[in-house]
Amino acid sequence: MDILDLLKEACNQVYYQTRGLVGTKQGNEKLGRGAGGDISRRIDVVAEAAVMEIVKKHNFNPTIVAEESGTINGEDDGFLVMDAIDGTTNTSRAIPFYCCSLAYAKDVKLASVIDAAIIDLSRGDLYHASDQRGAFMNNTQIQVSKSLKFADSDNLDDILVGLNLSGASPGVIMSLLKVISNVNHIRQFGANALELCYLARGFLDAYIDIRGKIRATDLAAAYLIVKEAGGKLYSTDGLKLDSEIDNKARISFLAVSSDEIFARLADYMQISS
């Protein structure tokens, strides 16, 4: 069994099993808190069960790190890391931007992810990557934006930067003040993993979430997809991003299409790069 194929099959299974629940009272029903600490809605639980079903069908038994179920030790090597629904708030109103994010890692670190699949559950677009083999959308290779150069210009007119500002503290907002006021095009669609796929395919030039609220589990698949599309991820101390993957670890990061863009953003944010 090819693990990447399993992740893609599981993504498609989540797509089929959750379609009827999006925006419905049944799908939105709150069922208590998952292992990750967030409120679980029925759609989250159904999506996670859909992934588990595919894993079981293939007699695959890695350690599973999941938002609702927590960590389930397995007998096989490696770690299956899932955020079965990213963008739950969007699903609650049927705002068409939410995804399922699945990663397989050799070790419990972001840098150890070797296979990744993310499905845009509204459109059905399937993103995937594997280590050293590039990133793809619907099996067509994707790359981060390449056309933007700052050498001759201070002009940020055409740069698009995704920000996660939801519930950002006043301190976080102040750190982003120069980014917001200097960038002409800010975006926030409401599902981190899918926004990072937008970066990977050249829709955004950077994506920043420095609230310290995102779980490493939520980022695992997108981390590899961004890297394989030619992008880079940095922590707020200006170093290459890495993190333990577990349900409790919360991270802050900047994902960028180029080091030139990172240098500019780091300057605005007073990060020493």
Q: Which is nearer to a second copy, 171 or 244 (CB)?
A: 171
The nearest distance, CB 169 to a second copy, in angstroms, is 6
The nearest distance, CB 181 to a second copy, in angstroms, is 5
The nearest distance, CB 190 to a second copy, in angstroms, is 6
User: Which residue is it, tokens 């677009």?
Assistant: 125
CA angle 268, 256, 12 (to 5 degrees): 140
Q: Which is nearer to a second copy, 180 or 239 (CB)?
A: 180
8 A C-beta contact, residue 80 and residue 65: yes
- Three-class secondary structure of residue 49 per DSSP: helix
8 A C-beta contact, residue 130 and residue 227: no
Structure tokens given for 253: 């990061």
The nearest distance, CB 208 to a second copy, in angstroms, is 13
At 81, give phi and psi (nearest 5°).
Answer: -110, 120
Burial status of residue 139 (CB atoms within 10 A of its CB: 0-12, 13-18, 19 or more) = exposed
Q: Which is nearer to a second copy, 31 or 177 (CB)?
A: 177
Q: How many CB atoms neighbour CB 228 within 10 A?
A: 22
Q: Which is nearer to a second copy, 110 or 265 (CB)?
A: 265
Q: Which is nearer to a second copy, 111 or 165 (CB)?
A: 165
Distance CA 64, CA 57 (A): 15
Chain contacts with a second copy (rule: CB under 8 A): 89, 92-96, 123, 158, 160, 163, 165-170, 173, 177, 180-181, 183-190, 198, 202-203
The nearest distance, CB 182 to a second copy, in angstroms, is 8
Q: Which is nearer to a second copy, 90 or 101 (CB)?
A: 90
The nearest distance, CB 202 to a second copy, in angstroms, is 7
Strands 160-163 and 140-142: unpaired
